[in-house]
């Protein structure tokens, strides 16, 4: 008989994700500049920063790489703890 593994379950607050991305962008960078850097429209960055729906994995990866952050940090505000 196998024992179920303990898994962490959480819901993603997309407004908080958008807020973290907005803070990373700062005041010196326009939405259009980050949009061009990651290959999306400026309106998409606006929607992301305002928490309007889920962000796709590819876009999260591009944003994470652009800002040298982890996807986990973008989603939760916490980095993974290395064991």
pLDDT tens for 9-68 read 678 999 999 999 999 999 999 999 999 999 999 999 999 999 999 999 999 999 999 999
pTM of the model: 0.83
Instruction: Tell me the pLDDT band of 79, cut-offs 50, 70 and 90.
Output: confident
Question: Which among 56, 25, 28, 30 is positioned nearest to 43, based on CA atoms?
Answer: 30
Q: Structure tokens of 14? A: 């997309």
């Amino acid at each position: 008989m196998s024992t179920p593994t303990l898994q962490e379950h959480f819901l993603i607050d997309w407004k908080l994700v958008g807020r973290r991305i907005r803070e990373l962008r700062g005041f010196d960078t326009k939405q259009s500049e980050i949009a061009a850097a990651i290959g999306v429209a400026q309106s998409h960055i606006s929607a992301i920063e305002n928490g309007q729906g889920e962000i796709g994995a590819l876009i999260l990866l591009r944003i994470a790489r652009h800002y040298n952050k982890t996807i986990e940090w973008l989603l939760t505000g916490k980095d993974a703890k290395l064991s």
